[in-house]
């Protein structure tokens, strides 16, 4: 099974930016839809952005216009560029398949938006 490692999180002030990376241990080129998820304590994991193998992206209402998802199949890596961050974006962010059975979850990367 493919292992996923998320990175790039941190503490940022409101209005700031972060770029998250998701490195896969195996090929993702054949995976039709990949996605970024986020989770806060006591809440279910939320799918915030998806991207197809062809590069078509979709976003949740809460992040549309601020976040940009991309993938580099050759590097087996997916990215999430997050701009104009808000305190409500604070969460642990995960990557995984977004269509069909998910792989084992990685450790995630913590994003904290606070002044």
State residue 88's pLDDT score: 97
- Which residues of the chain fall short of a pLDDT of 70? none
State which H helix or E strand residue 20 sits in: strand 18-24
The rounded Cα 23 to chain-centroid distance in angstroms is 11
State residue 3's pLDDT score: 94
Residues whose CB falls within 8 Å of the CB of residue 15, separated by 6 or more in sequence, listed in order:
84, 85
DSSP SS3 for 88: helix
State residue 31's pLDDT score: 86
State residue 29's pLDDT score: 84
State residue 27's pLDDT score: 87
First to last CA, the chain: 40
State residue 1's pLDDT score: 83
Distances (CA, A) of 67 to 2, 54, 60: 25, 18, 10
* Pairing relationship of beta strands 67-72 and 46-52 according to DSSP bridges: unpaired
Q: In whole angstroms, what is the distance from residue 92 CA to residue 47 CA?
A: 12
């Amino acid at each position: 099974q493919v292992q996923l490692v998320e990175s790039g999180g941190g503490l940022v002030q409101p209005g700031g930016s972060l770029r998250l990376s998701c490195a896969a241990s195996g090929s993702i080129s054949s995976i039709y839809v990949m996605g970024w998820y986020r989770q806060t304590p006591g809440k279910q994991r939320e799918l915030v952005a998806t991207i197809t193998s062809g590069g078509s992206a979709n976003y949740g209402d809460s992040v549309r216009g601020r976040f940009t998802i991309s993938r580099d199949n050759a590097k087996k890596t997916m990215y999430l560029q997050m701009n104009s961050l808000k305190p409500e974006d604070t969460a642990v962010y995960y990557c995984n398949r977004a269509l069909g059975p998910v792989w084992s979850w990685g450790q995630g990367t913590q994003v904290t938006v606070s002044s």
